Structure 1
Amino acid sequence: MIFALWNCGLDGRIPIWLYNCSKLQVLDLSWNHLDGEIPPWIGEMEKLFYLDFSNNSLTGEIPKNLTDLKSLISPHKYASSLNSPTGIPLFVKRNQSGSGLQYNQASSFPPSILLSNNRLNRTIWPEIGRLKQLHVLDLSKNNITGIIPSSISDMGNLEVLDLSCNDLNGSIPASFNTLTFLSKFNVANNHLQGAIPTGGQFLSFPNSSFEGNPELCGKIISPCAASNLDLRPASPPTSSSSRLGRGGIIGITISIGVGIALLLAIVLLRVSRRDAGHQIGDFEEDFSRPPRSSDTFVPSKLVLFQNSDCKELTVADLLKSTNNFNQSNIVGCGGFGLVYKAELPNGIKTAIKRLSGDCGQMEREFQAEVEALSRAQHKNLVSLQGYCQHGSERLLINSYMENGSLDYWLHERVDGSSLTWDIRLKIAKGAARGLAYLHKEPNIVHRDIKTSNILLNERFEAHLAEFGLSRLLRPYDTHVTTDLVGTLGYIPPEYSQTLTATFRGDVYSFGVVLLELLTGKRPVELKSENRVEEIFDTSIWDASYEKQLLEVLSIACQCIVQDPRQRPSIDQVVLWLEAIGSVKER
């Protein structure tokens, strides 16, 4: 089901015997020296939903057969491809120096086609729009020509689209603003022209997503009116201006020489970036390196709150406590960065979140988390111990949760153990109390309630986390206008229509969490399999709990009604949950 041999020094062509692996779901041959063309029979592998051939030396066109991958076309085929835990950790290599991000089962991999940093050419097939289950498409750093197919806008689940560093021309299809889940978009360094689409997610993409396309225009780069150059012939030069002295001729010659030198340097840089498949540096700066020259005058700032367990902490202590942010200390992956386990000099364990991503987006995330967690103090919220600014780095120091995330216990455990119903009900009550506090006291809408953002301490008490998307509502406000953000399966239906975040939107997402606690299934799996008659997780089903399970199911169904006006408030949900049985403390 899984064949992963990244960074193994493999050369030659992709072997034909892989075609016999009829149950293959995940195929990762990235960061090797493979050459030749991508074989068309890859498209005949019925269960394949994750393909990574990036960072090799593959040539030729993208096979049209890839648009026939059944698991990426049909939601039923994709759901049937998901397997149980493998019992061994799986890793994905994202950059040159890192050891890889860890997954515990194939279903954790996002449906992806990753072909970046090869020598692929020709065009992108319009039929690629058939892959409606695809979440990540990365064709960057190749020699792909032609236009960007507008059919890509049919891929409604697409979260990442990277077409940068190719030879694409034409315009960015206006229909792309309908891709409501698109969180990363990059078409930099092509030959695109015309207006950048407006609306949808395009208001949140940084300038770097479009740079290197001089003929692109729009609100993000420059007004389109500025690109309408005056093409009328210039007036003929006067006799005095046409007489150039010797100094003028020398000046023009030097200018032309410098221009040619710069042009050659740009061409060589682009060619070397494509050819040096294994020379690509880490996408993140090493925290231990000196700050960039632009950051040298930005002083380090370490702020510790009064509730902090370590009053005399230094930046050096942070580095030492995480072993210089070694990947062996990674305990989680937030929406905007990795989370590291750290043991402070006094022996206290903390979780340090190291933010990453586009500079402006990272700064917004950092400010949102600091503002939310400094205002909100509740036993069912993750406690912010402090924060650190060091050059371009942003760190959040949180309390450490021994039992990780609820998502891990429901979907990632490899030893077969699971949460009892008593513990699940306890978690539901705790998470609801934390959300009710946010809505009432600091007036905060979270916008990203999901199982991976509910953390569990050693007593399995629930703590809401990840406040990077949260927004503070002023008194008497009912909503906040925002970009469409969140996670597939948890986003309220009204968000895509009104682009307004409300407390009732959080209630919808919490209702989805209740369904996960009851079923043990992810939201996408629930929708795909439509197993209403088998709603309850077999590991918690017991006749003595039937009344409680049905009561929580009823609450969940009221939380996820389509009309937000008919959903209960989170305070009402807390009252309903508190009235259900007694929770046995663990």
Structure 2
Amino acid sequence: MVLLRCFSVTLLQWCFLACLLCLSLGLTNNQAPSCDPHDLSALKEFASNLTSGSIITEWSNDIVCCNWRGVVCDNVTNGGGTVASRVTKLVLPEMGLGGTISPSLAQLDQLNVLNLSFNHLKGGLPVEFSLLKQLKFLDVSHNMLSEPIAGALSGLKSIEVLNISSNLLSGVLFPFGEFSHLLALNVSNNSFIGRFSSEICSASKDLHTLDLSVNHFVGGLEGLDNCTSSLQRLHLDSNSFTGPLPDSLYSMSALEELSVSANNLSGQLSNQLSKLSNLKTLMLSRNRFTGELPNVFGNLSQLEELEAHANSFSGILPSTLALCSKLRVLDLQNNSLSGPINLNFTGLSNLQSLDLATNHFIGPLPTSLSYCRQLKVLSLARNGLTGFVPENYANLTSLLFVSLSNNSIENLSVALSVLQQCKNLTTLILSKNFHGEEISESVTVGFKSLMILALGNCGLRGHIPSWLSNCRKLAVLDLSWNHLSGSVPSWIGQMDSLFYLDFSNNSLTGEIPKKLTELKGLMCANCNRANLAAFAFIPLFVKRNTSSSGLQYNQASSFPPSILLSNNMLSGNIWSEIGQLKALLVLDLSRNNITGTIPSTISEMENLESLDLSYNNLSGEIPPSFNNLTFLSKFSVAYNRLSGPIPTGGQFLSFPSSSFEGNQGLCREIDFPCNIVNNTRPFISSSSSRKLGRSNVLGITISIGIGLALLLAIILLRMSKRDDDKPIDNFDEELNSRPHRLSEALVSSKLVLFQNSDCKDLTVADLLKSTNNFNQANIIGCGGFGLVYKAYLPNGSKAAIKRLSGDCGQMEREFQAEVEALSRAQHKNLVSLKGYCRHGNDRLLIYSYLENGSLDYWLHECVDENSALKWDARLKIAQGAARGLAYLHKGCEPFIVHRDVKSSNILLDDKFEAHLADFGLSRLLQPYDTHVTTDLVGTLGYIPPEYSQTLTATFRGDVYSFGVVLLELLTSRRPVEVIKGKNCRNLVSWVFQMKYENKEQEIFDPAIWQKDHEKQLLEVLAIACKCLNQDPRQRPSIEAVVSWLDSVRFDGYQQCS
């Protein structure tokens, strides 16, 4: 993988863009006096056939159609010698055109350029297009064309540039025999099948660009035999080609770009590679190539980029690579290369990215690398390198990223002294080196730009060095699995950007500094994390907390906000102020000597997913308010001195007994009832419970009976004393003990009910009473910026009340956004907003109540196999949710980007119709705006990769998240569930890997897999994969997704890549 590159734009694409620019310039200078009647009629019929697009209204009835946007006319001499103004170019890219392409365009018999790219056109190309004998340039890329197009292309004998990429075309590739003038052909990102046809190249001797990438072609590449020396760009990546590279490939002396990545190609690279002297880009990654790299690169003097990662190349680095003076990127990671890195880098002054990680290199770091003054990325991790970091590496002032982890580098003091002079360095990964050395205090200048520092698993001795306090931009700090002693310094709390701190598995002593509770980077979600976006695709090797083995975070931004201090000798109490760290996801203080009680303020850390306080000396109770930690998935307080009842609601019902064992005073009502008088019933693990005798069982039974009777009496007594007529204005007195009570001073109240509400007489008092004063028992979910409560309204109906939380400024903004958007957004596949209430400083939204809860529940939590969703129900849910999202994107005004599409935000009514919910993260767009800049938002597993780079939420970002939902429907797996297993990845990566291995059937949930459903399942999988394209520009619009899903039952499937 290229570490430096964000986007790859082929020269063909640039040619298209340049052509469009020239055409658009021509539009402003060409003022034709008239318009041919036949051309006028053809254009009007074309526009009338469209279902969307601005030209429908922009193209007026003016007879001078040559002045219309996208239309270019030229004076053409007719057969009779007269001159007439005729349409020669129709250029309408990115116009939002929907519908089908009208056959009337075939009447434009002087047309030589037709560009309809980046629209929403479906169907196919009319067969009448074969009459366009003058057509030279045809671009219909990035649409939804799915029908066979061979008939339309059969007569285009003048065609020179043909681009049909990024559609839904399938089947065997059309014949090319008539395209004798073809210069450029792009059919990428479709679902074509079959073998590489020799006819492709033999038809035209002038073909210079051929792109067949991202399809389903199979077999060998023998068809290249007929390709001539004129070919300059050949892209065959992401198919299923097999066998070796044919010798004929090396005869293409004009070749500049060769990409065959992500296939099943094998064999060795031939020495004939030296014949490709004009080669600039060579992409061989993710194949099965073996043997040594040929030492012939001296002839490739134009080479700028060489990618060959994830193969089985062996042997030493070819010395002739040193002669490629224009080389910018060299990526040979994940192979079996060996020997010393003896490449002479002195002549590679343009090198910007060097990745030789995960090989078998030995020996010292190459000193000549210091001549690569433009080097930004250096990754030599997971090799057998030894020695020091050369002092002349201080000359690499452009360095941004350095990873030397998992080697045997020595002398940490020298390494830090040298690398601190790289002023722009932001990421430094040195884990698993410097074994047993003393951590250096000699850093004098400091790493002013450093954001990520990993020195884990080095066995380092000494104290946490004070020079780290000068690293003001540090966001990720890993010093785990060392032998560090002394205390945790208080200045750590002053590192404003820090959100990932790992000091686990050391010998640290003393109290946890109170300053640690003031980490600004953990006080709000995504605070100070935007700068990590520049390294979103750089793999980072950081050790796993639970063992000394390695763990790779694929993206810098994927580090979970964490404080990891386990396996030390820390003492003292847990500060109650720790609740301020509301963005924290993981808190691990296990295996220390921490005393005191567990602060209830931890329950204010609403995003907490993992809490481990086991193996300490904590006493007191587990705070009941921990039930508010609705995202908590891992919890342990085992082996402390805790007592009292274990919370029984929320997530605590799912935690195993091992999470509580070793606390003699703990009890849990479900298994081992507590003594109601003093709560001293001991918590007994399942293993010891088997030893209970008959007398014990009898005693427990009697205790249960007495306890239940007493509890029932208390409940009845309280009920008898309750004054049902008590004014609702005093509800605050009832909620004073709650951590999240409504505003203390009841000031102005306002209740607004929309016309679609079926409870017109609702009052503020009714609203509060209907939720039992927002009792925990009424909580049914957690939406954007707040909890959702079930309300029983006075008229007998039910509603869902979302109570917004957060600081007042942000809360008010979110409240206004939801009210304004949802009051206009009314659709049968959206959760209906019935009204809203402002009560003091609190904001309440009143929604329809949907009986069947969320899709997330039915896919991931419902344990009754008989109640599992059948395939027909899942398909209907996908179709409904897509229609709801399409309405938000294009149906309502202003347009809305949802920004948090996920299965828990798809609610189901009593007929299992899907309703898209939770616009708490929405931002409103004016018509024709396509994005909104904001903080990085969303839910882990659903966030599009580009969000971490641009912090820009877009319609295509929503489409990516919806693609993840489609995978959930197909697999019944959570988006990040599979990473729990060893060597597993997230759901999206896993699905694509299974497809790469031709194991599609294993993707699907066995509960829905039937031979009768195979065609439909594959169709939906194809649609999901297109939604999940890494390049947002390649993703379909949600309107296209709706169309495809609605036609799943009838059309043939288009397999994705």
Q: What is the TM-score normalised by the length of structure 1?
A: 0.55
Matched with 1:505 is 957
Deviation at 1:374, TM superposition (A): 1.0
Measure, in 1, the Cα distance between the counterparts of 2:517 and 2:776.
Answer: 38
Measure, in 2, the Cα distance between the counterparts of 1:303 and 1:193.
Answer: 40
- Structure 2: which amino acid aligns with 1:497? Q
**What are the within-5 Å matches in structure 2 for residues 86-235 of structure 1?**
153=476, 168-170=490-492, 172-173=494-495, 176=498, 190=515, 201-202=526-527
Counterpart among 880, 889, 908 of residue 430 in structure 1: 880
Deviation at 1:364, TM superposition (A): 2.7
> Is the aligned partner of 1:517 residue 2:517?
no
Counterpart among 820, 831, 835 of residue 382 in structure 1: 831
Residue deviations 1:357-381, cap 9 Å, x none?
Answer: 3333322332222122112010000
Q: How has the CA–CA distance of structure 1 residues 526 and 332 changed in structure 2, closer, same or farther, with 3 Å as cutoff?
A: same
Q: How has the CA–CA distance of structure 1 residues 127 and 481 changed in structure 2, closer, same or farther, with 3 Å as cutoff?
A: closer
**What are the within-5 Å matches in structure 2 for residues 18-37 of structure 1?**
none
Matched with 1:34 is none
Q: How has the CA–CA distance of structure 1 residues 188 and 317 changed in structure 2, closer, same or farther, with 3 Å as cutoff?
A: farther
Measure, in 2, the Cα distance between the counterparts of 1:278 and 1:170.
Answer: 22
Matched with 2:768 is 319
What secondary structure is seen at the aligned counterpart in 1 of 2:976?
Answer: helix
Counterpart among 869, 873, 883 of residue 419 in structure 1: 869
Measure, in 2, the Cα distance between the counterparts of 1:553 and 1:450.
Answer: 17
Matched with 1:60 is none
> Is the aligned partner of 1:476 residue 2:476?
no
Counterpart among 386, 393, 396 of residue 845 in structure 2: 396
Q: How has the CA–CA distance of structure 1 residues 279 and 448 changed in structure 2, closer, same or farther, with 3 Å as cutoff?
A: closer
Q: How has the CA–CA distance of structure 1 residues 465 and 129 changed in structure 2, closer, same or farther, with 3 Å as cutoff?
A: farther
2:453·2:477 contact (CA, 8 Å) conserved in 1?
Answer: no
Measure, in 2, the Cα distance between the counterparts of 1:320 and 1:343.
Answer: 9
Deviation at 1:288, TM superposition (A): 2.5
> Is the aligned partner of 1:342 residue 2:791?
yes
Counterpart among 507, 524, 536 of residue 1004 in structure 2: 536
1:507·1:567 contact (CA, 8 Å) conserved in 2?
Answer: yes
Measure, in 1, the Cα distance between the counterparts of 2:870 and 2:1023.
Answer: 19
What secondary structure is seen at the aligned counterpart in 2 of 1:363?
Answer: helix
Counterpart among 912, 918, 926 of residue 460 in structure 1: 912
Q: How has the CA–CA distance of structure 1 residues 197 and 453 changed in structure 2, closer, same or farther, with 3 Å as cutoff?
A: closer
- Structure 2: which amino acid aligns with 1:518? L
Residue deviations 1:561-583, cap 9 Å, x none?
Answer: 0111110000011000010128x
Matched with 1:559 is 1027
Deviation at 1:279, TM superposition (A): 7.6
Deviation at 1:152, TM superposition (A): 6.7
- Structure 1: which amino acid aligns with 2:491? N
Q: How has the CA–CA distance of structure 1 residues 516 and 381 changed in structure 2, closer, same or farther, with 3 Å as cutoff?
A: same
Q: How has the CA–CA distance of structure 1 residues 323 and 296 changed in structure 2, closer, same or farther, with 3 Å as cutoff?
A: closer
Deviation at 1:287, TM superposition (A): 9.4
Matched with 1:289 is 732
In the alignment of these two chains, the number of paired residues is 365
1:387·1:395 contact (CA, 8 Å) conserved in 2?
Answer: yes
Which one has a larger percent helix, Structure 1 or Structure 2? 1
Measure, in 1, the Cα distance between the counterparts of 2:520 and 2:475.
Answer: 18
Q: How has the CA–CA distance of structure 1 residues 418 and 201 changed in structure 2, closer, same or farther, with 3 Å as cutoff?
A: same
What secondary structure is seen at the aligned counterpart in 2 of 1:202?
Answer: coil
Measure, in 1, the Cα distance between the counterparts of 2:742 and 2:1045.
Answer: 55
Measure, in 2, the Cα distance between the counterparts of 1:385 and 1:420.
Answer: 31
Deviation at 1:168, TM superposition (A): 2.4
Measure, in 2, the Cα distance between the counterparts of 1:575 and 1:280.
Answer: 49
- Structure 1: which amino acid aligns with 2:938? G
- Structure 1: which amino acid aligns with 2:490? L
The percent of aligned pairs where both chains have the same amino acid is 64
Measure, in 2, the Cα distance between the counterparts of 1:338 and 1:198.
Answer: 20
- Structure 1: which amino acid aligns with 2:920? G
Deviation at 1:269, TM superposition (A): 11
Q: How has the CA–CA distance of structure 1 residues 435 and 178 changed in structure 2, closer, same or farther, with 3 Å as cutoff?
A: farther
Q: How has the CA–CA distance of structure 1 residues 366 and 275 changed in structure 2, closer, same or farther, with 3 Å as cutoff?
A: farther
2:517·2:577 contact (CA, 8 Å) conserved in 1?
Answer: no
Deviation at 1:173, TM superposition (A): 4.0
Residue deviations 1:146-184, cap 9 Å, x none?
Answer: 9899987268xxxxxxxxxx98225644764899xxxxx
Measure, in 1, the Cα distance between the counterparts of 2:1032 and 2:791.
Answer: 41
Measure, in 1, the Cα distance between the counterparts of 2:1029 and 2:780.
Answer: 35
What secondary structure is seen at the aligned counterpart in 1 of 2:814?
Answer: helix
1:287·1:393 contact (CA, 8 Å) conserved in 2?
Answer: no
> Is the aligned partner of 1:491 residue 2:929?
no
- Structure 2: which amino acid aligns with 1:408? Y
Q: How has the CA–CA distance of structure 1 residues 167 and 554 changed in structure 2, closer, same or farther, with 3 Å as cutoff?
A: same
Q: Which has the higher contact order (CA 8 A, sep 6+)?
A: 1
**What are the within-5 Å matches in structure 2 for residues 28-67 of structure 1?**
none
- Structure 1: which amino acid aligns with 2:828? K
Measure, in 1, the Cα distance between the counterparts of 2:941 and 2:882.
Answer: 19
Measure, in 1, the Cα distance between the counterparts of 2:784 and 2:1032.
Answer: 26
Residue deviations 1:298-339, cap 9 Å, x none?
Answer: 301111111111111112111221122222221111232211
Q: How has the CA–CA distance of structure 1 residues 196 and 176 changed in structure 2, closer, same or farther, with 3 Å as cutoff?
A: closer
Q: How has the CA–CA distance of structure 1 residues 154 and 169 changed in structure 2, closer, same or farther, with 3 Å as cutoff?
A: closer
Deviation at 1:355, TM superposition (A): 1.7
Q: What is the TM-score normalised by the length of structure 2?
A: 0.31
Measure, in 2, the Cα distance between the counterparts of 1:188 and 1:375.
Answer: 50
Larger Rg: 2
Measure, in 1, the Cα distance between the counterparts of 2:1030 and 2:922.
Answer: 22
Deviation at 1:201, TM superposition (A): 2.8
1:169·1:192 contact (CA, 8 Å) conserved in 2?
Answer: no
Farther off after superposition, 357-366 or 449-458:
357-366
Q: How has the CA–CA distance of structure 1 residues 194 and 561 changed in structure 2, closer, same or farther, with 3 Å as cutoff?
A: closer
Measure, in 1, the Cα distance between the counterparts of 2:899 and 2:498.
Answer: 23
- Structure 2: which amino acid aligns with 1:202? C
Residue deviations 1:396-422, cap 9 Å, x none?
Answer: 110001000000000011223310000
Q: How has the CA–CA distance of structure 1 residues 472 and 276 changed in structure 2, closer, same or farther, with 3 Å as cutoff?
A: same
Measure, in 2, the Cα distance between the counterparts of 1:384 and 1:354.
Answer: 13
> Is the aligned partner of 1:303 residue 2:752?
yes
What secondary structure is seen at the aligned counterpart in 2 of 1:190?
Answer: helix
1:409·1:418 contact (CA, 8 Å) conserved in 2?
Answer: yes
How large is the RMSD of aligned CA atoms in angstroms?
4.3
Q: How has the CA–CA distance of structure 1 residues 500 and 281 changed in structure 2, closer, same or farther, with 3 Å as cutoff?
A: closer
- Structure 2: which amino acid aligns with 1:419? L
Q: How has the CA–CA distance of structure 1 residues 194 and 127 changed in structure 2, closer, same or farther, with 3 Å as cutoff?
A: closer
Residue deviations 1:24-67, cap 9 Å, x none?
Answer: xxxxxxxxxxxxxxxxxxxxxxxxxxxxxxxxxxxxxxxxxxxx
Deviation at 1:192, TM superposition (A): 9.8
What secondary structure is seen at the aligned counterpart in 2 of 1:467?
Answer: coil
Deviation at 1:479, TM superposition (A): 1.2
Deviation at 1:458, TM superposition (A): 0.3
Measure, in 2, the Cα distance between the counterparts of 1:473 and 1:188.
Answer: 45
